[in-house]
């Protein structure tokens, strides 16, 4: 044992960056390594939840991020090109949080923002530096790294945290299983620019179209004609060649009368739902995508990783600084708290994602059960807003506030 009090953070995605920033602000020595040459340059996770902004407000950075982002206050639900519901998020979240709106900040901008604040706190991310292995010993962790110039090094740390994404080296080295599954359909994300026509869509709001064989989410982006599309690739196309924009299922795009002029970024991906069987092993921890991956429904992936980072950060800071007499007992609370949260979240997003992406069932229910309504807070609103914003730890109610309002009106008209 060397008596090192330094913490090694592997991975400079949002999880690793928030963990490093929180620890650095508490005066804990950290090293952050990442195997890539530079931060990510694509928008990936767009939505920053209320809970994340509340955590950032404790670091004094929430308002600065909000100033860079694009708030959106409402969700519209469409079926067969007809708007069937309008949910006002601001009204749902009011009284529950200082940040009742959802905030759009593309992940690359978000990461740059965190890196700037980390730099102000005196920490630079060490790029082109890969963790190749480690040994957890009694009083420390011996980590092996390799730089792009092939230089290898061994150093000792008090703790090691794997924030190294879904293919985590840390998780694999520990032999921790990653049970779950992969959805059959291939999905796409595209950052696009629209021409003249955008149908009846309000691009400042989130629009969700649920049709028989297709679903499409249209997220607001900065710029009058910019939007992020998320949808499914046609089943026929996903069997073969390298997928392009031509392979997207265009039915919902046509129904919403979207005139896509330019595709700035296009990516396809399989959606997985997995939770690691352990989040901790002695002095080594897993956080973020290294510990759990789930469907994009609700935009929870990045936000949950940031929640892991903050939960672990204050505990590590208290233990390393000697402020907590509970020591290891305090650190032992990380796994049950965060694994429980991740399992509930994966189960919820799995149900929601299966419903919206299977095509047909939900769309049929919506067309039969909903009539065009404007949804305002009802008795069920707090649980709905809480689960959408990442603030609720309870299972969300089966009926969202907006949908119950719509159904009530339908019954009254019969
Ligand atoms: C197309 C797409 C759209 C998405 N949309 C959303 C969304 O709308 N909302 C949402 O919340 N989430 C979304 N996500 C998920 C979100 O991007 C992830 O949840 C988030 O990036 C996880 O952050 P992380 O820091 O845990 O891991 P990552 O961002 O994966 O970062 C891991 C880092 O570790 C580094 N690394 C890996 N192995 C090593 C090693 N051995 N040594 C050193 N460094 C290493 C990698 O280079 C990487 O920088 C989306 C993801 C994709 C791909």
Could you give the CA distance from residue 297 to residue 221 in angstroms, rounded to a whole number? 18
Q: Determine the distance separating the centroid of ligand 1 and the alpha carbon of 13, expressed in angstroms.
A: 6
Per-residue pLDDT of the chain (414 residues; tens, 9 = 90+): 457 889 999 999 999 999 999 999 999 999 999 999 999 988 889 999 999 999 999 999 999 999 999 988 888 988 888 888 898 877 677 788 888 888 999 999 999 999 999 999 999 999 999 999 999 988 999 999 999 999 999 999 999 999 999 999 999 999 999 999 888 878 889 999 998 766 678 888 999 887 766 778 999 998 888 999 988 887 777 777 788 888 887 778 888 888 899 999 998 888 889 999 999 999 999 999 999 998 776 678 899 999 999 999 999 999 999 888 878 899 999 999 999 999 998 888 777 667 666 655 555 555 445 444 444 444 443 334 444 444 543 333 322 222 222 333 333 222
Taking alpha carbons only, the member of 198, 250, 184 closest to residue 227 is: 198
- Cα(345) to ligand 1 centroid in Å equals 17
pLDDT on residue 398: 28
SS percent in the chain: helix, strand, coil, step 5: 35, 30, 35
Report the separation in Å between the CA atom of 289 and the middle of ligand 1, taken as the mean of its atom positions: 6
Testing ligand 1's pocket by substitution, the residue of 17, 41, 44, 160 carrying the most ligand atoms inside 8 A of its CB is: 44
Check residue 142 and give its pLDDT: 97
**Distance from residue 2's CA to the centre of ligand 1 (Å):** 32
Could you give the count of Cα atoms lying within 13 Å of 9 in the half-sphere of its Cβ?
31
- Which of 34, 39, 49, 52 for mutating ligand 1's site (highest number of atoms within 8 Å of CB)? 34
In this prediction, residue 94 carries a pLDDT of: 77
DSSP 248-311: B--HHHHHTTEEEEEEEEEEEEEEEEEE-S-SEETTEEE-GGGTEE--STTS-HHHHHHHHHHH
10 Å CB burial of residue 24 (0-12, 13-18, 19+) is buried
Rounded Cα distance between 30 and 5, Å, is 9
Mutate which of 104, 107, 310 for ligand 1? The one with the most ligand atoms within 8 Å of its CB, which is 107
- Cα–Cα dist 77/94, whole Å: 21
For 136, the token pair is 């957890």
Structure token digits, residue 49: 């939840």
Dist CA 83 CA 257 (whole Å): 13
C-alpha 275 to ligand 1 mean position (Å): 15
Residue 395: its pLDDT value, please? 34
Give the DSSP H or E segment for 86.
strand 82-88
Cα(379) to centroid(ligand 1), Å: 36
Q: Which domains does the chain have, with CATH numbers?
A: 7-179+274-412 (3.50.50.60)
How close is the Cα of 401 to the center of ligand 1, in Å? 32
| Pocket perturbation via mutation, ligand 1, pick of 19, 21, 33, 35 by most ligand atoms within 8 A of CB | 35
> Whose CA is closest to atom 30 on ligand 1?
165
Q: How far is CA 43 from CA 207, 222, 228, 247, 265, in A?
A: 18, 12, 9, 21, 9
Distance of CA 232 to the CA centre of its chain: 19
User: Among 102, 110, 155, 164, which is best to mutate for testing ligand 1, by the most ligand atoms less than 8 A from CB?
Assistant: 164
The Cα 378–Cα 366 span in angstroms is 19
Sign of CA dihedral 359, 104, 206, 257: negative
CA 119 to ligand 1 center in whole angstroms:
21
pTM equals 0.87
Protein residue whose Cα sits closest to atom 33 of ligand 1: 11
Nearest CA to ligand 1 atom 44: 34
Which strands sit side by side in the sheet containing 152-157, from one edge to the other?
A: 129-136, 141-147, 152-157
Taking Cα atoms as reference points, which of 333, 64, 323, 30 lies closest to residue 163?
Answer: 30
Contact 26, 121 (CB under 8 A): no
Give 271 Cα–ligand 1 centroid separation in angstroms: 13
Residues with CB under 6 A from ligand 1: 10-16, 33-36, 44-47, 107, 130-131, 163-165, 169, 189, 267, 269, 288-289, 296, 299-303, 305
d(CA 47, CA 30) in angstroms, rounded, equals 28
Structure tokens at 174: 């520990």
| Atom number, ligand 1, closest to the C-alpha of residue 34 | 44
Q: 258-275 and 180-198: which strand pairing?
A: antiparallel
Atom of ligand 1 nearest to the CA of 303: 11
Looking at the chain, the number of H-run helices and the number of E-run strands are 13, 20
Distance 349 CA to ligand 1 centre (A): 18
């Amino acid at each position: 044992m060397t008596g090192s009090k330094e913490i090694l953070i592997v991975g400079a995605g949002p999880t690793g960056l928030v963990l490093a920033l929180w620890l650095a602000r508490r005066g804990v020595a950290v090293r952050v390594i990442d195997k890539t040459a530079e931060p990510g340059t694509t928008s990936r996770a767009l939505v920053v939840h209320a809970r994340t902004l509340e955590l950032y407000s404790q670091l004094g950075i929430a308002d600065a991020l909000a100033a860079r982002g694009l708030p959106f206050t409402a969700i519209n639900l469409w079926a067969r090109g007809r708007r069937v519901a309008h949910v006002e998020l601001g009204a749902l979240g009011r009284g529950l949080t200082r940040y009742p709106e959802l905030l759009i900040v593309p992940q690359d901008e978000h990461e740059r923002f965190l890196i700037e604040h980390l730099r102000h706190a005196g920490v630079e991310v060490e790029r082109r530096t890969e963790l190749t292995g480690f040994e957890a010993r009694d009083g420390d962790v011996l980590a092996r790294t390799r730089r792009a110039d092939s230089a290898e090094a061994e150093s000792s740390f008090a703790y090691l945290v794997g924030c190294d994404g879904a293919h985590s080296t840390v998780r694999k080295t520990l032999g921790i299983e990653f049970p779950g599954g992969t959805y059959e359909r291939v999905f796409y994300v595209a950052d696009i620019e629209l021409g003249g026509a955008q149908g009846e869509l309000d691009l400042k709001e989130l629009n969700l179209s649920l049709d028989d064989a297709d679903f499409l989410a249209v997220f607001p982006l900065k710029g009058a004609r910019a939007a992020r599309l998320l949808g499914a690739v046609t089943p026929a196309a996903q069997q073969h060649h390298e997928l392009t924009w031509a392979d997207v299922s265009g039915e919902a795009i046509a129904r919403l009368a979207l005139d896509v002029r330019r595709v700035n970024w296009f990516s396809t991906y399989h959606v997985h739902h997995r939770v690691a069987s352990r989040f901790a092993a002695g002095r080594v921890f897993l956080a973020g995508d290294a510990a759990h991956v789930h469907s994009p429904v609700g935009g929870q992936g990045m936000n949950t990783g940031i929640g892991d980072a903050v939960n672990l950060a204050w505990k590590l800071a208290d233990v390393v600084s000697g402020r907590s007499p509970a020591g290891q007992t305090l650190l032992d609370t990380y796994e049950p708290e965060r694994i429980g949260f991740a399992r509930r979240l994966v189960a919820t997003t799995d149900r929601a994602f299966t419903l919206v992406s299977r095509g047909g069932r939900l769309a049929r229910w919506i067309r039969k059960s909903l009539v065009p309504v404007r949804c305002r807070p009802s008795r069920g609103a707090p649980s709905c807003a809480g689960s959408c914003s990442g603030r609720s730890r309870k299972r969300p109610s089966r009926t969202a506030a907006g949908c119950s309002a719509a159904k009530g009106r339908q019954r009254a008209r019969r």
